[in-house]
Amino acid sequence: MSEISLKKVYSGKVRDLYEIDSRRMLMVASDRLSAFDVILDNPIPGKGEILTQISNFWFKKLAHIMPNHFTGDTVYNVLPEHEAKAIEKRAVVVKKLTPVKVEAIVRGYLAGSGWKDYQKNGSVCGIKLPEGMKEAQQLPEVIFAPSTKAAVGDHDENISFEECERIIGKELAAEVRAKAIQLYTEAAEYAKSRGIIICDTKFEFGLDENGTLTLMDEVLTPDSSRFWPADQYQVGTNPPSFDKQFVRDWLEQSGWNKKAPAPEVPSDVIQKTVDKYLEALNLLTEES
């Protein structure tokens, strides 16, 4: 990727953070793809730009629910013009927040680790569910299913709401849960009208200098969520997806043990994944 004349302070699985000053950072989305918390060797061309556009769309659409991490600056305000031009579609200027130390996962349907949890325990994240539910079935109500924030290389771990309260405090836990459910519910309703079921998603929050809970990171992208095409949705089967699940399914059948390094992903799987990301962006954001 192109050079950026700011100090890099963090390199995550997908995004890199650069310091602008004591209050602001530049967040740049790469084309890296992580699956099962491992970064694949093959980049997905254009993915960082698509993810950033999807995220920006949601930040704006959901801004009435709570504050977000945007400062209002563009990349042109903080970088020399040629640098800004090269990354403008994949970068945003954000407030430097103090991260809330849990991942706020919200589930509307039974899939992935939620489905596994249910099969084993009849519950998801300690929340008891009716008997006889099927894979991919819509949950009787939206569930807040927090997890720990793992360091690079580790897996996030599902935790109970009580554990979440112990980590971040009762009051903050209640606020995070309420906001996460509200964000998901509103977004899922909109996405459904565009032909996308949002099965589940993960939000990240931070606290600003006044201690105000603020939405940060990325929002409702195919990377942080399971998107399903509504017209192919069928209870009882794992629906095909727009997104990473496609790569995940390929990796699952490859027999990989889910420890780095991941096997090389074939180029047709890469291309289909690019197409899926683009399709999601277009479905969500195109004027009707």
Ligand X SMILES: Nc1ncnc2c1ncn2[C@@H]1O[C@H](COP(=O)(O)OP(=O)(O)O)[C@@H](O)[C@H]1O
- Stretch of residues binding ligand X (CB under 6 A), selected from 73-81, 89-97, 106-114, 230-238: 89-97
Cβ 35 to ligand X shortest distance, Å: 12
Quote the distance between the C-alpha of residue 229 and its chain's center.
17
97 sits near ligand X (criterion: CB under 6 A): yes
Residue 246 sits at the vertex; the CA angle it makes with 240 and 249, to the nearest 5 degrees, is: 95
- Cα–Cα distance, 157 to 125 (Å, whole number): 10
69 sits near ligand X (criterion: CB under 6 A): yes
Residues 154-213, interacting with ligand X (CB under 6 A): 204, 206
Nearest to 258 by CA among 155, 176, 186: 155
- Cα–Cα distance, 203 to 211 (Å, whole number): 18
- Stretch of residues binding ligand X (CB under 6 A), selected from 7-15, 108-116, 244-252, 259-267: 7-15
99 sits near ligand X (criterion: CB under 6 A): yes
Considering the complex, state which of residue 146 and residue 206 has its C-beta at the smaller distance from ligand X: 206
95 sits near ligand X (criterion: CB under 6 A): yes
Instruction: Give the count of beta carbons closer than 10 Å to the beta carbon of residue 120.
Output: 8
Give the CA diameter of the chain. 59
Cβ 98 to ligand X shortest distance, Å: 7
Torsion angles phi and psi, residue 139, rounded to 5: -75, 150
Structure tokens at 163: 């554990």
96 sits near ligand X (criterion: CB under 6 A): yes
Task: Provide the mask over 123-152, with x wherever binding to ligand X is found by CB under 6 A and - wherever it is not.
Answer: -----------------------------x
Structure tokens at 182: 């509200």
- Cα–Cα distance, 130 to 116 (Å, whole number): 15
- Residue number closest to ligand X, CB atom: 12
Size of the site for ligand X (CB under 6 A): 17
Q: For binding to ligand X (CB under 6 A), which residues are involved?
A: 12-15, 17, 27, 69, 94-97, 99, 152, 204, 206, 216-217
